[in-house]
A = this chain, B = another copy of it.
Amino acid sequence: MSEKKKQIVEAAAKSFSLFGYKATTMDQVAKMANVGKGTIYTFFKSKEELLEDIVSSIISEIKYEANEAVDARLPFNENVQRVLQRIFTFRKEHELTIKLLQEVRDIGTPAVRDVMKRLDREMIAFIREKIEEAIAKGEIRSCDAELTAFLMFKMYIALHVDWEKEHEPLSPQKIAELFDLYLLKGLSPR
């Protein structure tokens, strides 16, 4: 990747993270990246594409981290927990992700909404792969992998995000325990 492009992406990521997508202007990005505004448009055809590119990097990063969390020697239920925990820890600690999720909640910027939806979809697809692998290996009984991944994801959001809106947060141990009790007991091999 060209040096200029790298500067642009870094500047944009920093500005999005500091001020949000909407509040970041292309002039701002150009200035922060020390390039002319026109240069940005030789690499990206629009502001939205710049955001998409950055979010694609985030997705790769999360997938990488989630894979790091997998330990082939552990059973499926422990690994799926580790993966989900990594994904949501990332979501909760990564500056840019936090800012973008805030922006969706508070302003609802359509471009940001779309891109965060894609992030969710890709996370579900990632979990789905893990489930399919586990089915192939006979670690869990056969099931609709897409649906199962979807439910796992939604359940994790419920426990990790929604519950805290009206109750005391749950400890990671508690979440793991609940996840095991409710979702995984139903998937253990017959």
Contacts and interface: CB of A to CB of B under 8 A. Distances in A.
A136 interface: no
Q: How many copies does the complex hold?
A: 2
Contact of A182 (B162, B163, B167, B183): B183
A90 interface: no
A88 interface: no
A61 B183 CA distance: 32
A156 to B, nearest CB: 11
Nearest to A182: B186
Interface stretch (A16-24, A25-33, A49-57, A146-154): A146-154
A182 to B, nearest CB: 4
A1 interface: no
A158 B150 contact: yes
A73 interface: no
Interchain residue pairs A-B with the least CB separation, the first 10: A185-B186, A154-B158, A182-B186, A181-B186, A185-B185, A182-B183, A186-B186, A151-B182, A151-B158, A154-B162
A35 interface: no
26 contacts: A121-B166, A146-B167, A147-B163, A147-B178, A150-B158, A150-B163, A151-B155, A151-B158, A151-B159, A151-B178, A151-B182, A154-B154, A154-B158, A154-B162, A155-B155, A155-B158, A158-B158, A181-B186, A182-B182, A182-B183, A182-B186, A182-B187, A183-B183, A183-B186, A184-B186, A185-B185
Contacts of A186: 181-186
A167 B128 CA distance: 15
A126 to B, nearest CB: 16
Nearest to A157: B154
A181 to B, nearest CB: 5
A77 B5 CA distance: 57
